Amino acid sequence: MAANGNGEVAMNGNGAAPARKPKGRLPSITTSDKHHGVCHDMSAPTVKAQTIDELHSLQKKKSAPTTPIKGFQGTFAALSEEERQKQQLQSISASLASLTRETGPKVVRGDPASKNQTSPRVHQQHVAEPTISASDSSLKFTHVLYNLSPAELYEQAIHYEKGSFITSTGALATLSGAKTGRAPRDKRVVKDDVTGEELWWGKGSPNIEMDEHTFLVNRERAVDYLNSLDKVFVNDQFLNWDPENRIKVRIVSARAYHSLFMHNMCIRPTPEELEDFGTPDFTIYNAGQFPCNRYTHYMTSSTSIDLNLARREMVILGTQYAGEMKKGLFSVMHYLMPKRQILSLHSGCNMGKDGDVALFFGLSGTGKTTLSTDPNRYLIGDDEHCWTETGVSNIEGGCYAKCIDLSREKEPDIWNAIKFGTVLENVVFEEHTREVDYADKSVTENTRASYPIEYIPNAKIPCVGPHPKNVILLACDAFGVLPPVSKLNLAQTMYHFISGYTALVAGTEEGVKEPRATFSACFGAAFIMMHPTKYAAMLAEKMQKHGATGWLVNTGWSGGSYGSGNRIKLAYTRKIIDAIHSGSLLKAEYKKTEVFGLEIPTAVEGVPSEILDPVNTWSNKLGYKDTLMKLAGLFKNNFEIFTDHKIGKGSELTGEILAAGPNF
């Protein structure tokens, strides 16, 4: 083969180039007669495509249908795939229906940016035309991205949502906008004839009322916003691993980040379970990018999180913080489950190899996540649970862990769970390497990671267990006067459960210069719906029936208050928790403290005996007494809002609970 003066290749008479030795070190390319002398690189087969578009079409395999037919079981078993998809889209269209227009939008599956993904023929099969108040919005299709996989949601977030990046470990880093935490003052609950009697209202209650009309105004605003978009994300998922009490939830949102977050936090249905998912039990409309109208009755800001228990709907306006969805559903479970005589709990839960289950209650900073995520025990869940007649079950399908100051050494399981599929909220990372700096608070101190519970190596799947043997109440006492561990009787367990005590220290919140007591009823006052004594009575009944023991564990200070004493070593707290799990602490000798009347052990293996009674660790005994009385007074003042509420027919149990508090 030779090139002529025009740069063309000269061929010999047979159509083949004359042979010659290759120059330099380039490898020779052989010819084959069956290819008529044309040179071919035989290292790989040729691509069976004639155009770039055809080449791209070969890249993606046709996936199995979302709701495949398995034999003849399930609601849709006798239907074709086209009919199943039609019914599914009709259900979504009904969810997005405007109350004033009575019908939902024209919905179709798929991303509008993808070519040839939809066809008019499918549209016509499931769309109902609006009957009144027709507008331009009735002429367009709303594309539904239904139960997308994490990989698909990554693509959507990175392509369309500013502030979305892949970190060095494969997690998706996102921003929640102006709101980087929950907005409890903007949460509203519809008060009607039923909820007016059943829910806890008034002083101390987290339930701020609104009326039905205002809810519908906000619902209309959210639905109109979602229908105006080219595409919405829809998640159909479950709450509660107990199959007998599972709740079907639908989340409609405008952001891929929100869809991935809920994919992680709720229980992910199998394709077979989606076959007969049908109508959801509860629906969230997350229009958080769009503000509420501040001139609407009951609105005090551009943010509103509205819960209607009769309609079983939740509307989010004016906040993109994903935690509002998670905690909103938890509030719903705090209403629905007790009506079934099931106790809903804001707690961590783990199980030993012998089947012994422990519940962990505690507010932020008490060590609930750290102590319940134990490498020597199975994790049932880190935050939300139900206690039924058969045992405990996790409400969620994932974990939502704080990331501030996260390290591999202190929290190896959480550290290793931050990988592909995990959502990292509001973290700061190095621009080039994409390595996250977990100590950086530039965006917020409330940085978070959301990941499926399967990412924890010792997670128990399914997330259910037998009845608990131990109920552990955690308090970070910055006053330094509570013992490291106390055994509680039933009345004391109820008293401290209703109180929900911990203490904030300097740096936790702006303006906190010295220890500040904080109380959160049932260790989750922001989410409970009924009066705290309702949950406390159910807890006491179940503990008594199944022989569970209550414990109060102080993970805070000893030898003085914050600033003068020292925080109790985590190693000592772990030894105490181990002794509770093993049952050895039940066999210890006990003595009673003054004022609070707590039973404290005289010895715990691996823990210095002198720290078990806090008075021993204070050099200033008078200072100890004064601080103890100060904390006791704070407990008394906090409990006053509960004293007029009776449990059962009489007030005897209420009297027992009051007597279980501090005595001056």
Q: How do residues 558-580 score in pLDDT, each as one tens digit?
A: 999 999 999 999 999 999 999 99
CA separation for the pair 327, 527 (Å, rounded): 7
HEC-encoded secondary structure of 552-609:
EEECCEECCCCCCCEECCHHHHHHHHHHHHHCHHHHCCEEECCCCCCEEECCECCECH
Share of the chain above pLDDT 90, in %: 71
Specify the length of the chain in residues: 664
Phi then psi dihedrals of residue 342, to 5 deg: -110, 130
Token pair in block for residue 228: 């105006």
Give residue 129's pLDDT.
Answer: 40
Are 633 and 596 in contact by the 8 Å Cβ rule? The answer is no
DSSP-based three-state secondary structure for 402: strand
Nearest to 246 by CA among 92, 400, 393, 147: 393
Q: What residues are paired with 78 via a beta bridge?
A: none
What does the DSSP assignment read for 225-258? HHHHSSEEEEEEEEE-S-GGG-EEEEEEES-HHH
How does the average pLDDT of the chain come out, rounded? Answer: 87
Which one is predicted more confidently, 226 or 648?
Answer: 226
Strands (E), 57-146: 106-109, 141-146
pLDDT, mean of residues 29-58: 59
Share of the chain above pLDDT 70, in %: 83
Confidence of residue 28 (pLDDT cuts 50, 70, 90): low
Q: Which of 10-19, 413-422, 479-488 has the lowest mean pLDDT?
A: 10-19
Look at residue 493 and tell me whether its pLDDT is greater than 70.
yes
HEC-encoded secondary structure of 296-313:
CCCCCCCCEEEEECCCCE
Are 174 and 164 in contact by the 8 Å Cβ rule? The answer is yes
Give residue 655's pLDDT.
Answer: 83
Q: Which of 36-45, 580-589, 593-602 has the lowest mean pLDDT?
A: 36-45
Whose structure tokens read 């949102």? 253
CA separation for the pair 604, 376 (Å, rounded): 19
Q: How do residues 240-250 score in pLDDT, each as one tens digit?
A: 999 999 999 99
Give residue 2's pLDDT.
Answer: 46
How far is the first Cα of the chain from the last one, in angstroms, to the nearest whole number? Answer: 107
Catalytically active residues are 182, 327, 346, 364, 368-369, 383, 448
Are 400 and 383 in contact by the 8 Å Cβ rule? The answer is yes
CA separation for the pair 88, 110 (Å, rounded): 13
Look at residue 41 and tell me whether its pLDDT is greater than 70.
no
What does the DSSP assignment read for 475-544? E--TTS-S-SEEEE-HHHHHHHHHH-EEEE-BTTBTT--S-EEEE-GGG-TTT--S-HHHHHHHHHHHHH
Which one is predicted more confidently, 268 or 27?
Answer: 268
Say if residue 239 is exposed, middle or buried (CB neighbours under 10 Å; 0-12, 13-18, 19+). buried
Whose structure tokens read 């965006």? 443
Give residue 136's pLDDT.
Answer: 67
Confidence of residue 45 (pLDDT cuts 50, 70, 90): low
Give residue 27's pLDDT.
Answer: 53
pLDDT, mean of residues 411-430: 96
For residue 486, give every residue at least 6 positions away whose Cβ sits within 8 Å of its Cβ, in sequence order, or none.
Answer: 551, 552, 553, 593, 598, 599, 600
Longest dimension (CA), the chain: 115
Q: Which of 64-73, 148-157, 435-444 has the lowest mean pLDDT?
A: 64-73
Range picked from 66-75, 114-123, 137-146, 628-637 for highest mean pLDDT: 628-637
Confidence of residue 63 (pLDDT cuts 50, 70, 90): low
Give residue 276's pLDDT.
Answer: 84
Which one is predicted more confidently, 27 or 208?
Answer: 208
CA separation for the pair 482, 447 (Å, rounded): 30
Is this prediction's pTM over 0.75? Answer: yes
Q: How do residues 74-122 score in pLDDT, each as one tens digit?
A: 444 456 778 888 888 999 999 999 887 767 888 999 898 875 444 333 3
For residue 94, give every residue at least 6 positions away whose Cβ sits within 8 Å of its Cβ, in sequence order, or none.
Answer: 104
Confidence of residue 536 (pLDDT cuts 50, 70, 90): very high
Buried b (16+ CB within 10 A) or exposed e, 453-464: bebbeebbeebb
Nearest to 321 by CA among 447, 410, 488: 447
CA separation for the pair 539, 437 (Å, rounded): 41
Query: What distances in angstroms separate CA 349 from CA 18, 394, 453, 562, one per listed residue?
Result: 79, 8, 13, 29
Token pair in block for residue 492: 């004391």
Nearest to 639 by CA among 536, 542, 489: 536
Look at residue 373 and tell me whether its pLDDT is greater than 60.
yes
Give residue 441's pLDDT.
Answer: 93
Q: Which of 258-267, 371-380, 456-465 has the lowest mean pLDDT?
A: 371-380
Look at residue 526 and tell me whether its pLDDT is greater than 80.
yes
Look at residue 646 and tell me whether its pLDDT is greater than 90.
no
Are 553 and 573 in contact by the 8 Å Cβ rule? The answer is yes
Sign of CA dihedral 338, 340, 346, 347: positive
DSSP run (H or E) holding 156: helix 150-160
Q: How do residues 154-191 score in pLDDT, each as one tens digit?
A: 999 999 999 999 999 999 999 999 999 999 999 999 99
Are 190 and 210 in contact by the 8 Å Cβ rule? The answer is yes
Are 328 and 353 in contact by the 8 Å Cβ rule? The answer is no
